[in-house]
Amino acid sequence: MKRAVYPGSFDPVTFGHLDVIKRASEVFDVLIVSVLNNKVKTPLFSVEERVKILKEATKDIPNVQVDSFTGLLINYARENDIHVAVRGLRAITDFEYELQIAQTNRKLSDGKLDTIFLTTSLEYAYLSSSSVKEIASFGGDISQCVPEFVAKLIYEKYHIL
């Protein structure tokens, strides 16, 4: 069984993430989408809410599981016997950041955790959770960015609707 983890903040999941999830689920037998419980960032959605949203958004993909983790990705991967992390690349600006994380993880794990990149589909290349939140916070239209039920939850957080 080829298993991989797709780690991220997913605050909240966008169509860009879902595109990566769908395509990665076709490459691996099991894809575990895991939400980082990052104590430093102040998220819009709690980890529990993000996990719930991801479960709903991926419910039609049978080989996708949703989980969360705290701390280093390499420790989470080791504990779950996972040797591949998946990340999406939107643009060259992502590349520098992602390259550094991937190389750090490979080094820290003694080569046991490698990273595979999928290039985000062009129609989602501009998308990010932060821009979605900013647009929504001003009452803008995010219907092209996230599933309808997610848009509703975001507007609720901003007391819009």
Asked about 90 being catalytic, the answer comes back as yes
Asked about 87 being catalytic, the answer comes back as no
5 counts as binding ligand PNS under rule CB under 6 A: no
98 vs 120: CA distance, rounded Å = 13
**Torsion-angle region of residue 53: left (phi > 0), alpha (psi -120 to 50) or beta?**
alpha
Nearest alpha-carbon partner for 150 in 64, 23, 56:
56
Of 62-81, binders to ligand PNS (CB under 6 A) are 72-73
Q: How many CB atoms lie within 10 A of CB 137?
A: 15
Of 101 and 118, the one with the shorter C-beta distance to ligand PNS is 101
Of 35-54, binders to ligand PNS (CB under 6 A) are 36
8 counts as binding ligand PNS under rule CB under 6 A: yes
77 vs 63: CA distance, rounded Å = 18
105 counts as binding ligand PNS under rule CB under 6 A: yes
| Residue ranges in contact with ligand PNS by CB under 6 A | 7-9, 36, 72-73, 101, 104-105
